[in-house]
Amino acid sequence: MARALPSLAKRFDTPVQNAQQTQAIADLQAEIERLRIAQSPDLESELEKLRAELTQQSGEQSIAVALIDPNPEQPRQTITQESILSMARSLEKDGQIAPVILVPRGKRYLLWDGQRRYEGTKHLGRETIRAVVAAMPENLHRQALLTFIHHEDLNTLDKAEAIVREIAMASGLEESEVPTILSTVLRRLDRQKKTVQLSGLVTLSGEEQRSGLKTLELSPAEFKTLEVLLDLTLNPASVKANLVSVLSLPKDLKQAVREQGLKAAHALALATLTGKTLQIEERVATRERLEATQQAIAQDLSVRQTREMIAAIKAKYLKGNSNEEQSINLLTRSLEKLTDEALESANSEQLRLLESALKTKLAAVRKQLTHHNF
């Protein structure tokens, strides 16, 4: 059943200090993105009511584009050039049908609704834009923040960054800490066979989610991280597998995801084309990756086809290596990735098995080194 749309107009009855505005605006923008993408039949009528009320209160104004600042907390960080050009054509042909909504910040304004109209107006070189100005209420309650992330038309990188940013804001953690904390707690819960228990909390109420999390013996940072994800009706394991991994993509692949529509699964496969993997200079590997990325986009390759292309590239550089050499290289890289954090989260039995295996192989390595020295 569709959720009833709260009246937007009633949210703009009293002023508030500028310091409180940005997050409140971001909350409402996220809600509007969710409703627009879901094609809510109520949204546009509610926005029209809001514009009408604001027009009665302050009147529709012509505001200098140079005085308007985009909201940095806008969930949709990626607006393609094609989308902007499409809006510009519409503005040029039919004019600006609806005014944008702005919030005053000193002598400037923060854009609340109408980002594509704003970008299209700038593209046309127009100096002013039709707008209504709103002040935010003091008692604005937090909305279902980041609900826009459930919709498929938003790229995976935007989703991942928005989720990490929200967890950091809610917990006081640094954004760089969030992926590590999430990975660590999920590995531990998986070893404890509690992953299913965690996933079962997604559809419960907030109070039931918090009660369930308390049974998992979490640190404060882990608790808050999982609490935020569950509150957004996101399965933490799915977030880690499908979203967080894209945050470590190389810059060129992130750019391709944002600007050229490269899918996350393709980008993650292409990310394996590194100097270390191919055993070549990094600049050469980067060139190979760039060319492969453009080929995947231009030919609209499937994930399977992309992986086949990547396998062919790897074979070109690694064809001189025997299977045994490749196995040794792979094992070395695996050991390099074995972090102190991973060891700390392992149980005693796992550590003993690892120690025994390493001792056995180390003895064999030393034996071979002795032969080589002779």
Specify the range with the lowest mean pLDDT, choosing from 82-86, 120-124, 144-148, 351-355.
144-148
Average pLDDT, the chain: 77
pLDDT at 1: 41
Residue 104: pLDDT band with limits 50, 70, 90: confident
Confidence of residue 84 (pLDDT cuts 50, 70, 90): confident
Its pTM stands at 0.49
Give the per-residue SS3 of the chain: CCCCCCCCHHHHCCCCCHHHHHHHHHHHHHHHHHHHHCCCCCHHHHHHHHHHHHHHHHCCEEEEHHHEECCCCCCCCCCCHHHHHHHHHHHHHHCCCCCEEEEEECCEEEEEECHHHHHHHHHCCCCEEEEEECCCCCCCCCCCCCHHHHCCCCCHHHHHHHHHHHHHHHHCCCHHHHHHHHHHHHHHHHHCCCHHHHHCCCCCCHHHHHHHHHCCCCCHHHHHHHHHHHHCCCCHHHHHHHCHHHHHCCHHHHHHHHHHCCCHHHHHHHCCCCHHHHCCCHHHHHHHHHHHHHHHHHCCCCHHHHHHHHHHHHHHHHCCCCHHHHHHHHHHHHHHCCCHHHHHHCCHHHHHHHHHHHHHHHHHHHHHHHHHHC
Write the single-letter amino acid at 318: L
- For helices 251-260 and 156-171, give the axis angle rounded to 10 degrees: 110
Residue 370 clears pLDDT 70, i.e. is over it = yes
Backbone angles phi, psi at 142, to 5 degrees: -65, 130
Give the pLDDT confidence score for residue 90 in this predicted structure: 85
Residue 245 has pLDDT above 90, yes or no: no
Instruction: Read off the amino acid at residue 354.
Output: L
Q: Is 140 within 8 Å of 11 (Cβ atoms)?
A: yes
Is pLDDT at 179 greater than 70 in this prediction? yes
pLDDT at res. 293: 95
The residue type at 265: A
> Residue 308: how many CA atoms within 13 Å on its side-chain side?
5
Span 9-32, pLDDT tens digits: 444 443 334 444 555 555 555 555
| Tokens at 261, concatenated | 């529509």
Under the banding of pLDDT at 50, 70 and 90, the label for residue 78 is low
pLDDT at position 148 is 42
- Distance (Å, rounded) from C-alpha 26 to C-alpha 48? 19
Identify the pLDDT of residue 38: 55
- pLDDT score, position 145: 34
Q: Would you place residue 120 in the very low, low, confident or very high pLDDT band (cuts 50, 70, 90)?
A: very high
- With bands split at pLDDT 50, 70 and 90, how would you rate the model's confidence at 249? very high
Residue partners of 324: CB distance under 8 A and separation at least 6: none
How does pLDDT run across 289-320, given as a tens digit for each residue?
Answer: 999 999 999 999 998 899 999 999 998 888 65
> What's the mean pLDDT in 63-82?
76
Residue 137 confidence (pLDDT) above 70 = no
More confidently predicted of 340 and 195: 195
Question: Among 33-42, 89-98, 127-136, 337-346, which stretch is predicted with the lowest mean pLDDT?
Answer: 33-42
Measuring CA to CA, which residue among 338, 364, 362, 363 is closest to residue 351? 338
Q: How far apart are CA 223 and CA 219, in angstroms?
A: 6
Confidence of residue 267 (pLDDT cuts 50, 70, 90): very high
